[in-house]
Structure 1
Amino acid sequence: MTLLERSWYSSNVLTLLLLPLSWLFGLVAALRRLVYRSGLLRRQRFDVPVIVVGNITVGGTGKTPLVIWLAEHLQSLGWHPGIVSRGYGGKAASWPQQVRPDSDPNSVGDEAVMLAARTGCPMCVGPDRPEAIRALLRHRTVDIVISDDGLQHYAMGRDLEIVVLDGERRLGNGFLLPAGPLREPASRLKSVDLVVVNGGDAEHELAMSIRRPKLVSLHDDQTLVLDGLRGRRVHAVAGIGNPQRFFGLLGDAGIEVEPHVFADHHPFRAEDLRFAEELPILMTEKDAVKCRRLPCRDAWVVQIDAQPDEEFVRRLNNALKDITDGQKIARHPGLPEL
């Protein structure tokens, strides 16, 4: 974690110095929302419902496991979901791009390949979300779209907004970027449809927990239970937004962690996985899609599944019923009131 990121979760001089920039950031963000609400910039709607799963903070909150759960839940209800995302880190020459489980993560982004592989859903990525949705709908039979992130992409119309909060880090110091971790003011949470808290003390809140993770071999289909490594030392590799959450998960399972932190969306090379001490290597699913072709021994992917609580599922199902009935969801008639 950089000095700036550490300052987001404490009170310090750096925070005070950056406050004027945060006020400017907030003003620009508010003006941007205003031009969409006033109709000066057009908000694009689609023939199928769009669900946004996002956050109002920078850094990992556990949003991607919820997207996977949501895709599986929609499929269990008879929907045919498709997924769009930005394709962050992808270097494709043109956008949007269709994503398959065997797509090159260097072209379309690591998270996109992981989502396509885990869900089996049609997927399309691109910095222009509406264009990605249109491309998805042209080539696939999709009757509902999940947008992985994109809460602040106001050009994209949406029928349901879900925000994931980190149960430990919450909103940090409560300031907007760059003095704090907020992309939008905390008041934005009042206008979304569902707020789910990932871990931490979520009493009186909609909660999401992580099911018992399992280990999948990086290079074949062999699997292990995470408890099988209890009491052992491992190299833990993480190039994600919040690596401490990953290391903490392993520590809670009784595993002694030798942490190796890389930048979010790091393009892994073979030398990144060469360590002086030969120990099992554990990595996140997002990192694994970039490491499968690299030569390394005893490497395992920690597969994580989210489980929202019953109240979240009940409210989600009610919202989906409202959508299918052609009704507007309460408190969300178009752009949120901020």
Structure 2
Amino acid sequence: MLRIWFEQQWQIRGWAQCLLWPLSWLFALLACLRLACYRMGVFSSQAMPVPVVVVGNLSVGGVGKTPVVIHLAQHLRAAGYAPGILSRGYGGSATGEVTADSLPATFGDEPVLIARRSGCPVWVDASRVAAGHALLHAHPEINILICDDGLQHYALQRDFEIAVVQRPFGLGNRRLLPAGPLREPLRRLQSVDVVIESGEVPVTPVLETVSYHMRLQQGAWTSVADFLSETSTANLRAQPLVAIAGIGHPQRFFELLSTLGLQFDRHPLADHHHYTPADFQALIGKTLLMTEKDAVKCQHLGLSNAWFLPVSAELRPIGHDQSLVNFVIARLQQRTQHAKGSRNES
């Protein structure tokens, strides 16, 4: 209940923010001191032997990073690269390599989903530096690392930063924790290489930087039981439906279903919710709809009439015509050439 209250307050500016404002100033001070310590070398920051691309965000909660990570990994593979992916593995209990058959309870729901969809090696560890070294040791063919949700993980040096911004919920009242949803000031976006805006709202760049608008392209409704069988939206309309969403902003999934003309009961749950058979006892006889992130955690529960809607990121350039993967490759090549030139001069 406290989390729900905070999420509601983060979308407005009212009396609660006045009370929390001093704590936000303290949070901002600590965040600035932490960043300064990394820049001055007080805290160590390590580089990897291959380029590192970080995909992160400024706010707490889900903003759509996972589809971006999968999109980038798939397109880098198509361009001839061998990407590996690093993740914290939120909601899991172990560290190590994640495969398509790994259990979400062990490694977290998002790493398992990423491993299934990207086809790339994935390693989970709270220390992205340790994860990077371990993944490169296990897969020496990897020539580029994608760090999922590591914008504030300054212990890992990076060559390219992507910030995903979700409107309107991700920005909220644009204040820092705990008065707002932001983990860093909005001006932090001035230092990233790319801003990707998600959300079905009119897009205006947050700041003057290279920007893309992300739209989620829907796939076919797929069975949670076998991840193979498919059905149509038309078939679902005639059934008693319950929509389940254990993601950062469940209302986004519910709004998507509404746009498809579906009528359903809503069953929001906390992000990274750990599903058990008890969650579905009161839903017997209903047709269940869920996100793919929820489905990877429910596949082993024997749900006979449950379906998920896979989505893929479509990125539209804002004010330019270069695809994300081409921009990333070009920028990394420029920095490599610059580094070689500096070494030759010295």
Normalised to the residue count of structure 2, the TM-score between the two structures is 0.89
Q: Superposition pairs for residues 213-292 of structure 1, below 5 Å?
A: 213-220=219-226, 221-226=228-233, 228-230=235-237, 233-276=240-283, 278-292=285-299
What residue is the counterpart of 2:152 in the other structure? 152
What residue is the counterpart of 1:195 in the other structure? 195
CA contact (8 A) 2:218 2:309 kept: no
The alignment status of 1:105 with 2:104, answered yes or no, reads yes
Distance 1:315 1:82 in 2: 18
What residue is the counterpart of 1:180 in the other structure? 180
Distance 2:103 2:213 in 1: 34
What residue is the counterpart of 1:122 in the other structure? 121
What residue is the counterpart of 2:208 in the other structure? none
Per-residue deviation, 1:28: 0.5
Percent identity over paired residues: 44
List gaps (5 residues or longer) in structure 1.
330-338
What residue is the counterpart of 1:333 in the other structure? none
What residue is the counterpart of 1:5 in the other structure? 7
1:82 to 81, 84, 99: 84
Amino acid at match of 2:197: V
Distance 2:337 2:57 in 1: 25
Number of matched pairs: 326
- Deviation string for 1:255-283 (max 9, x for gaps)? 11211111111110012123356221011
CA contact (8 A) 1:206 1:312 kept: no
- Deviation string for 1:223-247 (max 9, x for gaps)? 1344543475411111111111111
- Deviation string for 1:176-199 (max 9, x for gaps)? 101100000000011100001112
**Aligned partner of residue 164 in structure 1, secondary structure:** strand
Return closer, same or farther for 1:64/1:112 CA change in 2, 3 Å cut-off.
Answer: same
Return closer, same or farther for 1:142/1:288 CA change in 2, 3 Å cut-off.
Answer: same
Q: Superposition pairs for residues 36-51 of structure 1, below 5 Å?
A: 36-51=38-53
**Aligned partner of residue 36 in structure 2, secondary structure:** helix
List gaps (5 residues or longer) in structure 2.
206-210, 340-346
- Deviation string for 1:139-183 (max 9, x for gaps)? 012111111101000001111111111133241111110110000
What residue is the counterpart of 2:310 in the other structure? 303
CA contact (8 A) 1:172 1:180 kept: yes
**Aligned partner of residue 309 in structure 1, secondary structure:** strand
